[in-house]
Amino acid sequence: MNHPLQVISIILVIRAENKFLLVKRSKTDDIFPGYWQNMGGKVEVGETVEQAIYREMVEEVGLKSSSTPIFLHSYSWTKDFHSPTKLGLIFLIKMPQQIKELKIKLCEELDDFGWYSLDEAKKLKTIGLNSPTGTIGQLLKSLQYLEP
């Protein structure tokens, strides 16, 4: 019995000073144009998940981090019966720096960024509004790792 190959992607909930870094997808994007989300990308062949996390941070928003990623959640989806099942992994990255010290440099695929509290993020047009793996669900899941 043949099983479709699983393609792994990552989503990163980046937090500094109890605010979340959200990025806005390009308005010309084929999927969710103009929606706000946590950043992420694909794990490349031969790359570890950790390598993909740090590479995607640099490529998408220009940030470097030595923080240990905290696993939050996983999800899977299939486009159709003939497509491979894709597995997504969601991680929290706690940035020790103050927001004003973090210089964001967006890639061409993104139109904007912002640092938002959970309440502020809930007012944005985000992906998967009522899903535990949607953007707001990802932020909520990360709250269990708030500092006392």
Indicate whether 148 belongs to any domain: no
- Rounded to an integer, the average pLDDT of 16-31 is 94
Q: Where would I find the beta strands (DSSP E) of 1-148?
A: 7-16, 19-25, 36-37, 39-42, 70-77, 86-94, 110-116
Residue type, 63: L
CA 73 to chain centre: 11
What Rg do the C-alpha atoms of the chain give, in angstroms?
15
Give the pLDDT score at 68.
Answer: 95
Q: Which domain holds residue 92?
A: 7-142
The CA distance from 11 to 100, in Å, is 23
Residue 80 lies in a domain: yes
Q: What is the pTM of this model?
A: 0.90
Query: What span, in angstroms and rounded, lies between the C-alpha atoms of 100 and 35?
Result: 24
Domain count across the chain: 1
Amino acid at 140: L
pLDDT confidence of residue 1? 42
Does residue 17 belong to any structural domain of this protein?
Answer: yes
Instruction: Work out the pLDDT band at 42, boundaries 50, 70, 90.
Output: very high
Per the domain annotation, does 63 fall within a domain? Answer: yes
Residue 44 covered by a domain: yes
Tell me how long the chain is: 148
Name residues whose C-beta falls within 8 Å of residue 103's C-beta, 6 or more positions apart in sequence: 62
Q: Per mean pLDDT, which range of 5-14, 51-60, 111-120, 133-142 is the poorest?
A: 5-14
| Model pLDDT for residues 69-81, shown as the tens digit of each residue | 999 999 888 877 7
52-95: per-residue pLDDT in tens? 999 999 999 999 999 999 999 998 888 777 778 889 999 999 99
> DSSP readout, 20-52?
EEEEEE-TT-SSSTT-EE-EEEEPPTT--HHHH
What CATH number does the domain containing 83 carry? 3.90.79.10
